[in-house]
Structure 1
Amino acid sequence: MNLEDLVKKARGGRVVASGFLNPEEQEALRALAAREGLGLAWFGGLPAAERRLGVLHPPEVPAVSDPTWVGWLAAEDPERAAARLRRALDAGELGDVRLTPEGVLFAATRAAQARLAGAGLAAVDPPEAHRPRERRKTRTLVVPSLRVDVVGAKGLGVSRSYFAKGVKAGKVRLRGRVAGAKDEVREGDTLIAEGLGQVTLVRVVGRTARGNYKVELTAEK
């Protein structure tokens, strides 16, 4: 997938969706979109998804639709079913894959459903018991700094010391790489914390009289 080509199409006035991207690719696309002044919306299908699909659009387009589909494969052997799923779809067509005792829950592009049927995989919409329940909240909060541990802890509702341990253990990613203890979060950045969820710094609203930052954060768990 050529990210430059996607940006060129969006620059020409089109709404363009990428395939599913890993965190490093997401950061590359985010940088390209920012450089060109393009809008960029992310969709992962599943709550707190690591692999996400980006939709580029001209800035005058106010909103875009979600091009992802969440599917379900009932299976007595979920690991084998997941392996077949990965063989049937290209990397850009398949997002996160999550195993349960009863089968496989996964995110994919909407066009992938027909390809799965052709590969002999009876993927369907998830039954009620396995339908993902996204817990997503956008709030305006005050933080003393924009350091990774401060923003991550505040956004996900855990103690700073607990989140800092995760950073030290290499379980937190920022801009497509493992986050460092002294890294700061910028507007548009997403922190991905293994086992906790992810936090996006939507914007810095301003500074308080005491010099703290007033920020708008979106957290997904």
Structure 2
Amino acid sequence: MTILAPETRDWLIGHGFAVSDDELWLEALTHGSTGAMRDYQRLEFLGDRVLGLAISDHLYRNVGGAEGALAQRLNALVSKSACAKVARHLGVSEHVVLGKQAREDGAAKSTNIMGDVMESLLGANYLEAGYGPTAALVHKFWAEDLDGKTGRSKHPKSALQEWAAGNQRRPPEYTLVDRSGPDHQAIFTVRVEVRKVGAAEATASSKQEAETAAAKLFMEQYG
């Protein structure tokens, strides 16, 4: 039976996680490719909600502006890429438990997996320590982005939507052109088109990020 490695336990505690139930934390770090009965997906579901509340609460208390501006910042701060950025900073890839093939395929570097595991760790900490201590971890881990420019500029998809309306064009249409690679390292190519203006394509590790990149590219070319 796989157990939580002592160095992983020390790593978690060193970053401020409240580690008591080793099986829970092993679950939080285990990817489905291992074939284990319990992997991080349920904890990811929980952690995603805890993260959203912690960031929303911080923005409400500390940031001015209308609801739309707050929502824009929230979406950027809880995005998969933002979660993966924190996970890489903490060194999650060295401790995530992957199946042999998934690790050989580079799953430990996957933005989707790193983001998912970061959320699952927050879910595990919520179960162990409650909301307050977990929100404090979020505010610590996300401090650079909370204080920085993340989400402050208009989201490319919103900017494109407004540009199309302002120029009396039909709304932009997004099409998934291609999806390749294994589930843990999928690559998505999305095309965005504004009728009678043009189109742009972009590739990323999630459909949402590919749409965002395509909208940004479209605005650079035609906006």
What is the TM-score with the length of structure 2 in the denominator?
0.25
The structure in which a higher percent of residues are helix is 2
